[in-house]
Amino acid sequence: MSERTVLQGADITRALTRISHEILETQRGADDLVVLGIPTRGVALAQRIATNLAAISGTPVPVGALDVTMYRDDLAQHPTRAPQRTDIPATGIDGKTVVLVDDVLFSGRSIRAALDALQDIGRPAAVRLAILVDRGHRELPIRPDFVGKNLPTSRDERVNVRLVEHDGEDAVTIEGE
C-alpha cells in the first residue's frame, strides 16, 4: 500500500480560514451561530473554525460536539463503535444556525445521523455543513455548504485526516494500491 500526502498543516489552516470567512459571509456575521463538530476529528476542526470566526468577527461563537453513534444505520456492521460525548453549548440550538463540522464526507450517512441527532436536541433555524475533505461517493442526497478540499478518490482508497489535537501533526493522506 502506498500513501501520499495531499494536504499539509499550512493547507489545512488555509482551508479552515477560508471556510470561516465563507460562513461569516453566508450568515452576514456571527450572530446566532453555533458550531458543532462530529467526533472525533470534526470536534477539533469545529473548535478551530469557532476560534477563527471569533477572531474575524470579534464575536465569540459557541462550539460543541454532536455524537451520532446511536443514530447511525450501520451499527450492525460496526458494533464496536463507542459513543462519544455530546456537548451542546448553553445557548442551545433553537432558532440558531448550526454549522455541522466533520473531517471527511464520503457516503453522507454520518451527516444523515447528525441531522437525526439534532432533531432530538432542538429546532435550529438552519443547518449548514462544513467539511475539510469531500471525497465523493455519496449514497444519500447530502451536499456540503463549505468544503476545504474536493478530493476525488476511488472506493478502494482511504482518506486519513491527522490533526495535532489527536495525532501530533496536521496532514491529509490517501492510502491506496
CA distance 105 to 102: 7
What pLDDT score does 72 carry?
83
CA distances from 152 to 4, 26, 39, 143 (A): 14, 26, 23, 15
Average pLDDT over residues 76-97: 86
pLDDT at position 57 over 70 = yes
CA distance 20 to 10: 15
The closest alpha carbon to 128, from 44, 12, 10, 32, belongs to: 32
Asked if 100 and 129 count as a contact pair (C-beta separation under 8 A), the reply is yes
Per-residue pLDDT of 107-154, as tens digits, reads: 999 999 999 999 999 999 999 999 999 999 999 999 999 999 999 999
Q: How confident is the model at residue 77 (pLDDT cuts 50, 70, 90)?
A: confident
- Per domain, the residue ranges of the chain are 30-73+92-156
What pLDDT score does 51 carry?
98
What pLDDT score does 78 carry?
67
Q: pLDDT averaged over the chain?
A: 94
pLDDT at position 79 over 70 = no
Share of the chain above pLDDT 70, in %: 97
* CATH class assigned to 30-73+92-156: alpha beta
Q: Tell me which of 176 and 18 has the higher pLDDT.
A: 18
pLDDT at position 68 over 80 = yes
Q: Tell me which of 165 and 72 has the higher pLDDT.
A: 165
What pLDDT score does 81 carry?
67
Average pLDDT over residues 50-58: 97
Q: How confident is the model at residue 167 (pLDDT cuts 50, 70, 90)?
A: very high
The cell 446566532 sits on which residue? 32
156 — phi, psi (to 5°)?
Answer: -80, -15
- Strand stretches in 51-144, DSSP E: 63-65, 97-105, 126-134
Question: Which contacts of 148-152 are long-range, i.e. CB under 8 A and separated by 24 or more positions?
Answer: 148/7, 148/12, 148/15, 148/16, 148/18, 148/19, 149/6, 149/7, 149/11, 149/15, 151/6
pLDDT at position 80 over 70 = no
